[in-house]
Amino acid sequence: MGVALPLQVSRRWFRHTTSLVIFALLLFYLCTRSLRALSGCRPGAQSCITEGPPPFQAQQQSQSLEAPDWEEPQCLGPHGMLGRMVRPFRASLNLEGDVELSPYLAGWRELIKFLTPFGSIFTFATSEAFDKVTALEARVHGPDAAHYKSLAAMVAWERRKGLLELPGVAPRNPARSSGSKTALLLHRALRWSQLCLHRVATGTVGGPEPGEQCSDAYGTVLGPHHPWLIRQAARLAFLSFPGRGRLLELACPGTTESEARAVLAHAAGTLEDVYNRTQGLLAERGLLQLA
């Protein structure tokens, strides 16, 4: 008996410590591991990852938002969190089929602010995104700013200057990654965020909870590129994901559930449009394997 109690305590301590180590490893790998190419929706490019049409309930909610007497929720207005995110992302899609980098990065900054309260698994992902946004902004506003107006212009200039890394080869100094590689990593993070928001918005009553849906999105988009240990840590981390009601409240405070769902679906649709445009541009230039 004199030995059993300390042994039991030590086992509990070991399990607790192991969980912390696993979660720390998840955070380390989550946004920095190399990913395989995802598909796009531009002519001549690979097909995009589609979510399919939203459930009938979500379609009805979206239609109700388009009614003439519908009043735009504050969260989607000029001063609302979703509105501040959607507008610059939409503005980044120029008429020439390119992606303007300055509004794209402004949209990312608002997306980071929006996702941070959603839980620890997003907190680390957004902190990694913040570093990448800051690094790319330094180029957009730096001495070579004329070549960083848009995604296509950036890629063309970095290719002419020999600044692009070899596909699949990690740079000796990650801090000196090309702007194109930084944009590719942001692009992939955008897909996971978009899938999570879409599924939160369109999930049916009695269906899977958001944690399960976002975990499934992780397993589809990022999991295949992570070691077994990281995949297991991610599965555990999603168990503490907020419920749908709380997420919708955070997304659009002061609205009904149906309004919050429709507004969030609209925001996720904008992110998907940006993702598909960027995916096509990167695919056409053979850069989906750059990292």
Residue 230 lies in a domain: yes
Q: Using 50, 70 and 90 to split pLDDT, how confident is the model at 264?
A: very high
Query: Hey, is 33 helix, strand or coil?
Result: coil
d(CA 226, CA 34) in angstroms, rounded, equals 9
Mean pLDDT of the residues in the chain: 77
Q: What is the pLDDT of residues 6-30, one digit of tens each?
A: 444 344 443 444 444 444 444 444 4
d(CA 13, CA 9) in angstroms, rounded, equals 6
Residue 132 lies in a domain: yes
Q: HSE-up of 151 (CA within 13 Å, CB side)?
A: 29
Q: What is the pLDDT of residues 44-84, one digit of tens each?
A: 444 354 454 443 334 444 444 444 455 778 899 988 999 99
Q: Are 86 and 72 in contact (CB under 8 A)?
A: no
Residue 5 lies in a domain: no
Q: What is the pLDDT of residues 135-187, one digit of tens each?
A: 999 999 999 999 999 999 999 999 999 999 876 666 555 567 899 999 998 99
Residue 77 lies in a domain: yes
Task: Assign residue 102 the CATH number of its domain.
Answer: 1.10.3520.10
Residue 26 lies in a domain: no
Helix 257-284 / helix 244-251 crossing angle, nearest 10 deg: 80
Range with lowest mean pLDDT among 109-118, 129-138, 187-196, 218-227: 218-227
What was the pLDDT predicted at 174? Answer: 58
In single-letter form, the type of residue at position 59 comes to: Q
User: With 0-12 CB in 10 A as exposed, 13-18 as middle and 19+ as buried, what is 53?
Assistant: exposed
Residue 235 has pLDDT above 50, yes or no: yes
Residue 39 lies in a domain: no
**Alpha carbon 161 to chain centroid, angstroms:** 30
Q: Are 260 and 72 in contact (CB under 8 A)?
A: no
What was the pLDDT predicted at 189? Answer: 86
pTM value? 0.75
- The more confident residue out of 57 and 291 is 291
Nearest to 33 by CA among 170, 193, 212: 170
Q: Using 50, 70 and 90 to split pLDDT, how confident is the model at 125?
A: low
What was the pLDDT predicted at 170? Answer: 61
Residue 43 has pLDDT above 90, yes or no: no
Residue 54 lies in a domain: no
Q: Residue 204: give the domain boundaries.
A: 71-284
Q: Two tokens at 186?
A: 């942001």
What was the pLDDT predicted at 89? Answer: 98
What was the pLDDT predicted at 167? Answer: 67
Q: What is the pLDDT of residues 104-117, one digit of tens each?
A: 999 999 999 998 88
Share of the chain above pLDDT 70, in %: 70
d(CA 212, CA 206) in angstroms, rounded, equals 13
Residue 31 has pLDDT above 90, yes or no: no
204-211: long-range contacts at Cβ-Cβ below 8 A with a sequence spacing of 24 or more? 204/55, 204/57, 205/57, 209/241, 209/243, 209/244, 210/241, 210/242, 210/243, 210/244, 210/247, 211/238, 211/239, 211/240, 211/241, 211/242
Number of structural domains in the chain = 1
Q: Using 50, 70 and 90 to split pLDDT, how confident is the model at 230?
A: confident
Residue 8 lies in a domain: no
